[in-house]
Structure 1
């Protein structure tokens, strides 16, 4: 099974919905795709992932 950008988007939505705040999911997705490609978020360093998310907080 191929991991796609839609799969990545779904993971981002689940992660951000489980945390406090509002986030620009499209911007998070774009940054991860630019840096890592369409990868499972578990393959990204946790601190790096949440730093990317934090950069795209909308509230």
Structure 2
């Protein structure tokens, strides 16, 4: 199975739904794809992932 941007977005939604606050999931997805491609978030450094999420917090 090929990992797609939709798979990445789904993972981001799952991760951010389990955390406090709200964020722009599309912007997070775009930034990760620009920096790393469409990758499983488990392959990213945890601190880097949450720093990207924090940059796109909306509430």
Task: Report the TM-score, using the length of structure 1 for normalisation.
Answer: 0.99
Distance 1:38 1:51 in 2: 18
Cα deviations across residues 9-54 of structure 1 (Å, max 9, x unaligned)? 0000000000000000000000000000000000000000000000
Matches within 5 A, 1:13-28: 13-28=13-28
In the alignment, structure 2 segments of 5+ residues that lack a partner are: none
In the alignment, structure 1 segments of 5+ residues that lack a partner are: none
Task: Report the TM-score, using the length of structure 2 for normalisation.
Answer: 0.99
